[in-house]
Each structure stands twice: as C-alpha cells, then as structure tokens.
C-alpha cells in the first residue's frame, strides 16, 4: 500500500457528431490521495487546534525558548509551517520555557493562552510557571501579550485551556499536578473568581499526576480530557472525566485511559479536539514520542473519536487509536494530486503536490528551472530527526520509479544530497551522493528506528542522476552520468512500508555548511525495463 491510497477517474464513452456511433475515449487517469497514516509529518508537542473559515491552525510546544509556531492545513493531515505566531520580547515578563499554547477565537480577535517562566526563575524548576495570554487580529499572529502573567495562584500553573460555554461565560482550566478551574470575565483575559479543584490523580495508572485539560460540551454533559502520568514516559495516556457543569463536580467514569501506548506508539497524550472539514466527524489531535522509549522529542497524530450514550454517566468517549495504519481522510477533506513529478519550471512550488517537512522557508527556492535547497546542519538517522526541508510528494499505488538530477559538491562531514522513499523518520530508504571520507554513494535503510548503510565510491562526480525503483516490496537504487546508462548501487533492499511518500533531501550534518544543492527535476513514473548497465569509468564500485 502506498502512503496515500488513490482514486483514478476514467472518462466514459462519448458520442461523436450527431450519428449513433459510440467511441470509447479514455480520459487520462488522475490519481488522488484519499487516505493518510500517523504520525503526521509535523514535529511538536502539546497541540491545540482551531478550525476557522475552512482552515485549520495548529499551535504546539515547538520553540520553548522563543515562543510558539503555527501551522495551517485544509485537511488536518498535510501541514504548512507559517512561522512564529508568538515571540518573546526582551521587555516582557515571559522569557523562557514557553509551553502548551491554547487558541480561542472571540469575536474578531484571537487569544493565545500559554505558560512560561520569567528570566530569574530557578533553572530546572517548574514552580515559577504562570499562565499568560496574548492577543492578535489574525490566527497567524503576531500575538502580543495582554496579561503576563494573567493568573498567579502562588504556585506552578501550566497547560492552560480556556473553554467558552453556550452562554458566553469563559473558564480557564490549568494543571498543577491536579487540575483546577477559575472563571473569566467578559474580556476572557482576567480571572473573575476563586479556583475550584476539578480532579485529582487518584487512579493507580495516573501515578499522582494529572495535566493537559481540554473541555468540550456534548449535549448537557461536559467532558474533560486529561493526560497522565508524565509527558516523557511511554505510559503517557489520555483519559476523561464527566460533569454536569463547567466547574464540576467531575467524575472519572472508567479506571483506564481511552488512548494509550501500543507496540508501535509511545506516549500518546496532551490532546485537543476538533471536527472534520464538513463537521460530520470528531477527531482527537495529540502528540506521541518520536522514539518508543519516550523522551522530549514528539510528533503530532490525529485519530477519530466518537461520543456514545452511557446509561450511567450520560456519555462515553471512544477513541480509534493510536493508529499507524492507513485510514480515510477526514470527511469533507479535499483529496490532493498523486503520482506526478515536477520539472520545477514554474514560479511557485505547488503546495497541493508537495509537503515540506521541518520547513525552513528561507533555505529553499525555485531558481532558473531548478529547486535549490540551501543545506544546513541536520539529519535523519536513528534517534536524530532534525533534517530541514524534506520535500515529499505522493506516488500512485503500486510500483514506481523516482529520478532526479542533482548538482552539489560534497566535501566534508557527511554532506549529502539525494532521493528518499519515506514512511516516517523511523522508516525510509535514502540514496545520496555523500561525503564519507571521500565522495561516495550512500544507501540508507531505516526500519523501526534502526538504520543501516551501504556505501560505494562515486566515480561520476558531483553532477549526477539518481534513481530509486520500487517493484513489490523491493527497492533498487541506481545512478548515472547521463540519464541513459545506469549502474546499480548496492543490493536491492526489502521493506514493508505502509503509507509512502517520495522526495528530495539535502543536508550537511556535522558541519552545518550552507551551500546550494540544486535539483533539475523530480520525475515519478511506472517502472519500465530493468536499468541498462553502462560501461567505462562510471561504475560506482570501481
């Protein structure tokens, strides 16, 4: 199965002229993506999400020393980084440890709640964390502080979540090992009453810690999602409590979480909730660990949830997750093109065709009919996932062949440029022209977070053609000096990937050297004959 299953639209027979003669005319098939798989290609933690005028805005803990980034999407699956929505200022109270943003739209303004610490806070302690609020006229920002801190209980307050009820009253929930709530005034920027305790970590699996409140209303019931026991633990999970009012009393209806770790997923937690583009489905948006052992590095995932009637508590939450297999796009989400390459001869890159993972918008451009990526520090290897500007597009189902021509001088410390077949940062195959003690072909396969390399001398040079061919579950890498005579690099590699994307990478891990790597084209097609072997000095093993 490819990373995104596709829909082919075939034209029907047509009548020609006024005669009763029918000709079967086949319209060129158009591949469209109709499914996705977790994790999404978006690094971050503690997500919150807003659907506003047909566009999703996602905020997360991604720049804890600087502020909060924002991403946009029309389908909840493919995301584009839009920059920092909020940045700290030297004169502001909040100076470090920017965590857990919460976004609310109120009239024509947007409010961003978050927690942070002042510059003089004790290093390594969270006790100085306070809730702050910033305001903007656009969900992209820039957000400017309205009150920092907004709420100071005298002790740690993190994971702010603001809920606005049907009567317009606002409530601010926050975590301090337990979860409490304070009422807000009409401006939603000031506390208007004392705190009320909502829930304590009384269940065994919670291990004395509740955090990440998120409240929704279903009919006459209020549901509070929360997470335990610790954000960096593989056991981190999501549960919920139910109440008849925003201030409680809250009851935990079941003794176990509704979203927890699996053999393939670690630490699913700290969630938000939203609907599909057409409003017919509910989704939970949460983070998982990039590695199964847990830790700080996290990524975003989305799964379906359902609310069903419960005879005792009124409502029950059911979560279809955490998933890693392909599932249908959210209902109402527009499908996007699949199975096409790019000659890079336009003025702008097609965002319907390309996703850019870990995008640095200032380090790539289209220039003179080429895609030019400015290299920088970063790589994908084992636990490492800091490679910037991974360009990915969707193949049609079945076998495929991807080809590019690159020009880049590799000269030190694992410089590399090349092609990639991508499921996620723990599962991919990459063919690179690289520097490994000299100019060499580097073939990398990583499965389940365990990478392995093959490398061979590159006797072609720095202007090269590269190809990866998929036949069944086998991937063959080959190179050429002219695009006609091809030489295999290494042995064919087997991999049982799920949802697949394919694309281009360029980086200078180890040195951080900034240099332009150019790609003349990216061609995606169905494989034809086996590569025709060339002769002379180009054999990569000579």
Distance CA 76, CA 273 (A): 12
Any idea how long the chain is?
A: 542
* 377/286 same-domain check: no
Distance CA 225, CA 240 (A): 4
- pLDDT bin (cut points 50, 70, 90) of residue 39 is very high
Distance CA 273, CA 494 (A): 38
Residue 152 maps to a domain: yes
Distance CA 297, CA 449 (A): 14
Q: Tell me: the pLDDT tens digits for 499-539? A: 999 999 999 998 999 999 999 999 999 997 665 554 433 44
CATH number of the domain that 40 lies in? Answer: 2.115.10.20
Residue 27 maps to a domain: no
Backbone angles phi, psi at 363, to 5 degrees: -120, 25
Distance CA 64, CA 126 (A): 13
Q: Tell me: the pLDDT tens digits for 384-436? A: 999 999 999 999 999 999 999 999 999 998 999 999 999 999 999 999 999 99
Asked whether residue 15 carries a pLDDT value surpassing 90, the answer given is no
Distance CA 477, CA 419 (A): 10
Who's near 245: CB < 8 A, 6+ residues apart?
222
* 49/69 same-domain check: yes
Q: Tell me: the pLDDT tens digits for 444-484? A: 999 999 999 999 999 999 999 999 999 999 999 999 999 99
Contact 432, 516 (CB under 8 A): no
pLDDT (average), residues 343-347? 94
Residue 312 maps to a domain: yes
Q: Tell me: the pLDDT tens digits for 145-180? A: 999 999 998 899 999 999 999 999 999 999 999 999
Final residue belonging to a domain, choices 271, 296, 328: 328
* 357/226 same-domain check: no
Contact 465, 449 (CB under 8 A): no
* 174/248 same-domain check: yes
* 295/411 same-domain check: no
SS3 label, residue 538: helix
Distance CA 285, CA 266 (A): 15
For 298-357, the DSSP string reads EEEEEEEEEEEEETTTEEEEEE--S--S-EEPPTTPPP-EES--B---SSS--TTT-EEE
Q: What is the predicted pLDDT for the residue at 91?
A: 82
* 487/428 same-domain check: yes
Q: What is the predicted pLDDT for the residue at 16?
A: 26
First vs last Cα of the chain: how many Å apart? 37
Q: β-strand 130-136 against 109-117: which pairing, if any?
A: antiparallel
Q: Tell me: the pLDDT tens digits for 87-132? A: 999 889 999 999 999 999 999 999 999 999 998 888 777 889 999 9
Final residue belonging to a domain, choices 328, 347, 376: 328
What is the dihedral angle through the alpha carbons of 384, 385, 388, 393, rounded to the nearest 10 degrees? 140
Distance CA 466, CA 490 (A): 13
Residue 28 maps to a domain: no
CATH number of the domain that 343 lies in? Answer: 2.60.120.200
SS3 label, residue 339: coil
Final residue belonging to a domain, choices 328, 355, 378: 328
Residue 374 maps to a domain: yes
Q: 357: buried, middle or exposed (CB in 10 Å: 19+, 13-18, 0-12)?
A: buried
For 178-235, the DSSP string reads SEEEEEB-TTSSSB-S--EEEE---SGGGTT-BEEEEEEEETTEEEEEEEES-TTSTT
Q: What is the predicted pLDDT for the residue at 529?
A: 64
SS3 label, residue 537: helix
pLDDT (average), residues 34-49? 96
* 158/211 same-domain check: yes
Report the candidate in 536, 436, 427, 531 with the shortest Cα–Cα distance to residue 489: 531
Asked whether residue 13 carries a pLDDT value surpassing 50, the answer given is no
Q: What is the predicted pLDDT for the residue at 316?
A: 97
Distance CA 300, CA 38 (A): 8
Listed in order, strand segments (DSSP E) in 251-313 are 269-275, 282-289, 298-310
Mean of per-residue pLDDT scores for the chain = 91
Q: Give the Å distances, CA to CA, from 104 to 47, 130, 150, 188.
A: 13, 18, 15, 10
* 318/346 same-domain check: no
Q: By percentage, how much of the chain surpasses pLDDT 70? A: 92
* 343/314 same-domain check: no
Residue 477 maps to a domain: yes
Residue 7 maps to a domain: no
Distance CA 48, CA 213 (A): 11
Q: Tell me: the pLDDT tens digits for 253-274? A: 988 999 999 999 999 999 999 9
Distance CA 243, CA 264 (A): 33
* 105/166 same-domain check: yes
Return the exposure string of 142-163: e unless at least 16 CB atoms fall within 10 Å of the residue's CB, then b.
ebebbbbbbbeeeebbbbbbbb
* 320/469 same-domain check: no
Report the candidate in 176, 98, 184 with the shortest Cα–Cα distance to residue 143: 98
Contact 203, 183 (CB under 8 A): no
Residue 6 maps to a domain: no
pLDDT (average), residues 345-361? 94
* 240/366 same-domain check: no
Q: What is the predicted pLDDT for the residue at 11?
A: 29
Backbone angles phi, psi at 165, to 5 degrees: -80, 175
Report the candidate in 388, 367, 384, 365 with the shortest Cα–Cα distance to residue 376: 388
Q: What is the predicted pLDDT for the residue at 238?
A: 98
Q: What is the predicted pLDDT for the residue at 254?
A: 86
| Rounded to 5°, angle at Cα 184 from 183 and 187 | 165
Q: What is the predicted pLDDT for the residue at 29?
A: 55
Q: By percentage, how much of the chain surpasses pLDDT 90? A: 87
Q: What is the predicted pLDDT for the residue at 59?
A: 98
Contact 158, 100 (CB under 8 A): yes
Q: Which residue range is the domain that position 271 belongs to?
A: 35-328
201: Cα within 13 Å, side-chain hemisphere: 21
Structural domains in the chain (count): 2
């Amino acid at each position: 199965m490819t990373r995104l299953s596709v829909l082919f639209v075939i034209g029907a027979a047509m009548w020609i002229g006024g005669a009763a003669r029918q000709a079967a005319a086949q319209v060129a098939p158009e591949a469209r993506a109709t499914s996705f798989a977790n994790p999404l290609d978006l690094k971050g933690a503690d997500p919150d999400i807003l659907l506003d005028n047909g566009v999703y805005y996602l905020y997360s803990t991604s720049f804890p020393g600087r502020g909060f980034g924002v991403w946009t999407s029309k389908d909840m699956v493919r995301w584009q980084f839009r920059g920092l929505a909020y940045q700290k200022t030297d004169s502001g109270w909040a100076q470090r440890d920017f965590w857990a943003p919460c976004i609310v739209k109120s009239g024509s303004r947007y409010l961003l709640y978050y927690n942070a610490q002042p510059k003089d806070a004790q290093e390594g302690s969270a006790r100085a964390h306070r809730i702050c609020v910033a305001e903007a006229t656009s969900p992209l920002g820039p957000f400017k502080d309205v009150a920092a801190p907004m709420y100071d209980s005298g002790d740690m307050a993190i994971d702010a979540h603001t809920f606005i009820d049907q009567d317009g009253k606002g409530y601010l929930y926050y975590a301090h090992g337990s979860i409490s709530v304070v009422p807000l005034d009409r401006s939603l920027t000031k506390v208007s009453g004392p705190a009320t305790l909502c829930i304590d970590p009384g269940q065994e699996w919670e291990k004395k810690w509740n955090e990440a409140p998120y409240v929704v209303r279903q009919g006459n019931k209020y549901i509070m999602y929360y997470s335990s026991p610790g954000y960096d633990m593989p056991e981190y999970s999501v549960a919920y409590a139910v109440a008849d009012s925003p201030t409680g009393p809250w009851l935990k209806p079941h003794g176990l979480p509704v979203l927890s770790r699996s053999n393939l997923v670690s630490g699913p937690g700290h969630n938000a909730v939203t609907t599909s583009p057409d409003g017919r489905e509910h989704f939970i948006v949460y983070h998982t660990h990039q590695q199964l052992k847990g830790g700080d590095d996290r990524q975003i995932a989305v799964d379906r949830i359902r609310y069903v009637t419960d005879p005792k508590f009124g409502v029950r939450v059911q979560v279809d997750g955490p998933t890693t297999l392909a599932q249908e796009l959210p209902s109402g989400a527009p499908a996007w093109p699949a199975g096409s390459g790019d000659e890079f001869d336009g003025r702008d890159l097609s965002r319907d065709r390309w996703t850019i993972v870990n995008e640095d918008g200032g380090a790539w451009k289209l220039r003179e009919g080429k895609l030019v990526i400015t290299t920088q520090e970063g790589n994908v290897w084992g636990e490492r996932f800091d490679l910037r500007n991974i360009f990915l597009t969707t193949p049609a189902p079945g076998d495929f062949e991807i080809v590019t021509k690159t020009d880049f001088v590799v000269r030190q410390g694992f410089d590399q440029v090349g092609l990639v077949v991508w499921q996620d940062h723990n599962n991919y195959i990459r063919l690179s022209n690289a520097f490994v003690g000299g100019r060499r072909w580097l073939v990398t396969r990583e499965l389940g977070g365990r990478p392995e390399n093959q490398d061979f001398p590159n006797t072609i040079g720095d202007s090269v053609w590269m190809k990866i061919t998929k036949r069944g579950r086998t991937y063959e890498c080959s190179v050429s000096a002219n695009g006609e005579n091809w030489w295999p690099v290494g042995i064919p590699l087997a991999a049982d990937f799920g949802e697949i994307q394919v694309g281009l990478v360029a980086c200078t891990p180890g040195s951080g050297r900034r240099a332009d790597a150019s790609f003349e084209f990216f061609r995606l097609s169905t494989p034809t004959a086996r590569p025709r072997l060339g002769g002379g000095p180009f054999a990569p093993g000579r």
